[in-house]
Structure 1
Amino acid sequence: MRELSNDDIDLTRLSSHENINFIPMSGKYVVLRRVLIGAIALFLWVLWAFAAFGPWPMDIIAPSILNITITIPCLASLFFIYAIFADPQKGYALREHDLSYRSGLFIRHSVTQPLTRIQHVEINRGPLQRRYGLAELCAYSAGGQASTFAIPGLSHRDAQQLREFIVAHKTSH
């Protein structure tokens, strides 16, 4: 019978999460997100300006309503600015035994999933993603209906290669 041990582990000898070489999202993904978010923000500004300065008397639209509704295009513009700085922070890393994804600008979020714990992997593509050769890889772990994490903004080829590697890794281990 093997003797039970519970030795201390030197934390300085463990590999650091900061040492992971994350691969950035596809440049097409970053551009597509900026165009979509920018178009939505511009549309909301035009809609607000039409309501504020349209060809009708101002007593029909109360100024307080315009003051309140201006927050919607302002928030869309802030989201556009946030995306400009946050999208380059997104990245993924495939290592020998795990898959990692990071995102966030002010609040950094990193998820690492051991490859042996991934139950299945799927590739999702919407119409715009198909048009621009992009895909989203969703990794599902055992015990949950929702995906452990999704990696957006991959080229379709990279998503297929990642999926094939993960499936091959599962069958070999």
Structure 2
Amino acid sequence: MKIEVTDIPDVLIVEPRVFGDERGFFFESFNQRQWQQSTGLTTTFVQENHSRSSHNVLRGLHYQIRQPQGKLVRVIVGEVFDVAVDLRRGSPSFGCWAGVHLSAENKKQFWVPEGFGHGFVVLSEVAEFLYLTTDYYAPEHERAIIWNDPDLGINWPIRGEPILSAKDRVAPLLREAEVYS
């Protein structure tokens, strides 16, 4: 596996080693030993989630203020633009974001550590998104930040307004949100 460090050193782009020929392809989407050796992280994953979304659906920016979740995310159908936002108030990169195109074709994965907000927008007709998490979903601790917060300045590769959930439409700005201390 190849690890690329983003502008935010804790956020990683992971490229698995893919074996392919005329029959198709094979790759290990996750190997605990290789993950630890390549990243130096002793992360334990406890839950896997699978979502399917239509073109221009934007999910996020989500996080859990307690029971924070690290997420190793990938796309198995279609393409998304995926974003991690540093919400750790004492961090030198607080309020900064890193983004990557994830697709079934490029097979890249994105490591979004605990303490970060996470979101993605679907660029293809549909996208199926898988992610491993380091803690369980806890709806009572779920928080969100509005996707188009001007202080974040995320360069979403979309035209017009995305399709949002009711909760994402009313999410607060970063300066009004509860963040990690």
Which TM bucket (shorter chain)? under 0.3
TM-score (norm 2): 0.26
TM-score (norm 1): 0.27
The structure whose RCO (Cα within 8 Å, separation 6+) is larger is 2
> Highest Rg: 1 or 2?
1
More helix by share: 1
More strand by share: 2
